């Protein structure tokens, strides 16, 4: 492994943190490493390259919506990417996220196979083994090759051409042309992938995701609490997630706050509101998207309990970050959520059950030092990014042993 490229949809959000963090780790260790992404701000850096223009993204999106053929657009941008990979003589590629209307997978994987480039596929969601979706949710169609995709039933063209099944079979073919690819992901993702024939015979490794535990650490929030006008004796319940992403389930957090308006012991704080309403429960503080990671660390540290009511997630960074800041979790018992922590630092309740959430809240008081330390130690033991990046680096260096 001499020349490395990291491919991701964007340079922001959870996947951006993982992808760019891996890029920085390789650069710190003097690897010739490039970070290539499809969406985000352009930067003047020879090693950081945005491959897609906004107009092309819109065109790709339109094609996807029209015929359900995500992964087939953006041919010109993908050819530009391939020229960049050739120019830099890339021999190892780390894939973080491919979906997002910025890449033609047919061209991309054909090039990787022809050049025998080593591929480490980091499965931060379930796209790698599905016929086009990011998450399987309650659908088990992928176990039958996505032959009758419910998402495409209302799309006449997508249904007629069996778009999801075509995507599924295309991935099956691409992957088997690659030179010894390795698919890594959390335990939930690997277990789900094993239910499909798409990755049969290919190497998979269980590997937890990670966060910057030096940045996300317990902080003194006394001044921050005063800035938010939260009295010292109140118990603070925090949620950090976009309101508009339905799968994140933030609406249940709002319903929870609404049902508990009569109990003045609790203050609910939501960071990430991007809706249109201007009236909220009286016991709730609402903030918009927060890009400053140190400020986010303050919110996590401020919380006596971090609530993340997601309905579809593999290993959400926000939960790992909250734990690293010394705060216990409350999540739904669904998708990959139960895999992120044990019962000593987290509660998991039935999905969409606000009453069950309320029962946990009513048992929650002010966070003490022992709880903070327990959560922090748990995060350090599982989610330290330095250990994670080192494991990914070693995977890139490994050579497949010849069969006897």
Got the DSSP string for 137-150? TT--GGGGTTTT-G
Q: Token digits for 179?
A: 């030179």
Q: Is the pLDDT of residue 154 over 80?
A: no
Residues 195, 234 within the same domain? no
8 Å CB contact between 333 and 350 = yes
Length of the chain, in residues:
404
User: What is the pLDDT, as a whole number, of residue 217?
Assistant: 98
Residues 379, 390 within the same domain? no
Q: Is the pLDDT of residue 353 over 70?
A: yes
| Number of domains observed in the structure of the chain | 2
Specify if 377 maps to a domain.
Answer: yes
Residues 32, 151 within the same domain? yes
Residues 200, 270 within the same domain? no
Whole domain around residue 78: which residue ranges?
Answer: 3-210+385-397
E strand or H helix at 287: strand 284-287
Kindly indicate the confidence band of residue 148, based on its pLDDT and cuts at 50, 70 and 90.
confident
Q: Token digits for 258?
A: 């609404």
Q: What is the DSSP string of 197-254?
A: GGGTTSEEEE----B-TTTS-----HHHHHHTT--TTSEEEEEES-SS-GGG-HHHHH
109-134: average pLDDT: 94
Residues 372, 389 within the same domain? no
Residues 181, 234 within the same domain? no
Residues 360, 306 within the same domain? yes
User: What is the pLDDT, as a whole number, of residue 102?
Assistant: 87
Residues 251, 306 within the same domain? yes
296-320: average pLDDT: 97
Q: Is the pLDDT of residue 400 over 80?
A: no
Kindly indicate the confidence band of residue 135, based on its pLDDT and cuts at 50, 70 and 90.
very high
Specify if 166 maps to a domain.
Answer: yes
Q: Is the pLDDT of residue 404 over 50?
A: no
Residues 16, 87 within the same domain? yes
User: What is the pLDDT, as a whole number, of residue 2?
Assistant: 87
Specify if 332 maps to a domain.
Answer: yes
Specify if 57 maps to a domain.
Answer: yes
Q: Is the pLDDT of residue 252 over 50?
A: yes
56-69: average pLDDT: 70
Specify if 305 maps to a domain.
Answer: yes
* DSSP-assigned letter for residue 45: B
8 Å CB contact between 379 and 349 = no
Specify if 404 maps to a domain.
Answer: no
Residue with tokens 């340079």: 11
**Which residue from 157, 145, 135, 148 is spatially nearest to 65, judged by alpha carbons?**
157
- Phi-psi sector, 367: left (phi>0), alpha (psi -120 to 50), beta: beta
* DSSP-assigned letter for residue 384: B
Specify if 216 maps to a domain.
Answer: no
Residue with tokens 């998207």: 289
| CATH number of the domain encompassing residue 239 | 3.40.50.2000
Residues 60, 192 within the same domain? yes
Residues 317, 331 within the same domain? yes
| Weakest mean pLDDT among 94-108, 144-158, 299-313 | 144-158
Q: Please provide the average confidence, as pLDDT, over all residues in the chain.
A: 91
Residues 370, 241 within the same domain? yes
């Amino acid at each position: 492994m001499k020349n490395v490229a990291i491919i991701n949809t964007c340079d922001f959000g959870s996947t951006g943190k993982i992808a760019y963090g891996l890029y920085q780790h390789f650069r710190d260790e003097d690897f010739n490493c490039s970070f290539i992404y499809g969406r985000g701000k352009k930067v003047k850096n020879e090693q950081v390259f945005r491959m897609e223009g906004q107009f092309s993204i819109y065109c790709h999106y339109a094609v996807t919506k029209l015929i359900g053929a995500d992964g087939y657009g953006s041919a010109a941008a993908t050819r530009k990417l391939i020229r960049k990979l050739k120019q830099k003589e890339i021999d190892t590629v780390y894939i973080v996220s491919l979906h997002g209307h910025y890449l033609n997978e047919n061209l991309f994987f054909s090039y990787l196979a022809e050049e025998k480039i080593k591929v480490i596929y980091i499965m931060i969601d379930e796209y790698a083994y599905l016929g086009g979706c990011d998450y399987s949710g309650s659908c088990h169609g992928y176990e039958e090759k996505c032959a009758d995709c419910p998402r495409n039933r209302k799309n006449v063209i997508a249904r007629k051409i069996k778009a999801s099944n075509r995507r599924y079979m295309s991935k099956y073919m691409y992957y088997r042309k690659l030179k010894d690819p390795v698919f890594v992901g959390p335990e939930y993702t690997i277990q789900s992938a094993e239910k499909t024939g798409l990755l049969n015979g290919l190497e998979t490794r269980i590997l937890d995701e990670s966060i910057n535990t030096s940045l996300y650490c317990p902080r003194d929030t006394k001044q921050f609490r005063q800035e938010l006008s939260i009295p010292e004796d109140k118990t603070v319940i925090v949620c950090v997630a976009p309101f508009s992403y339905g799968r994140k389930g933030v609406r249940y957090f709002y319903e929870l706050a609404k049902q508990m308006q009569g109990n003045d012991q609790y203050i609910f704080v939501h960071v990430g509101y991007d809706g249109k309403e201007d009236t909220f429960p009286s016991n709730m503080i609402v903030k918009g998207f927060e890009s400053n990671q140190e400020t986010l660390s303050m919110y996590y540290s401020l919380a006596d309990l971090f609530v993340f009511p997601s309905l579809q997630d593999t290993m959400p960074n926000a939960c790992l970050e909250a734990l690293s800041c010394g705060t216990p979790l409350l999540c739904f018992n669904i998708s990959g959520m139960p895999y992120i922590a044990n019962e000593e630092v987290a509660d998991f309740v039935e999905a969409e059950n606000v009453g069950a959430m309320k029962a946990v809240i009513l048992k929650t008081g002010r966070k003490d030092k022992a709880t903070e330390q327990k959560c922090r130690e748990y995060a350090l033991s599982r989610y330290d990014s330095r250990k994670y990046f080192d494991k990914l680096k070693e995977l890139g260096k490994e050579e497949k042993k010849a069969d006897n």
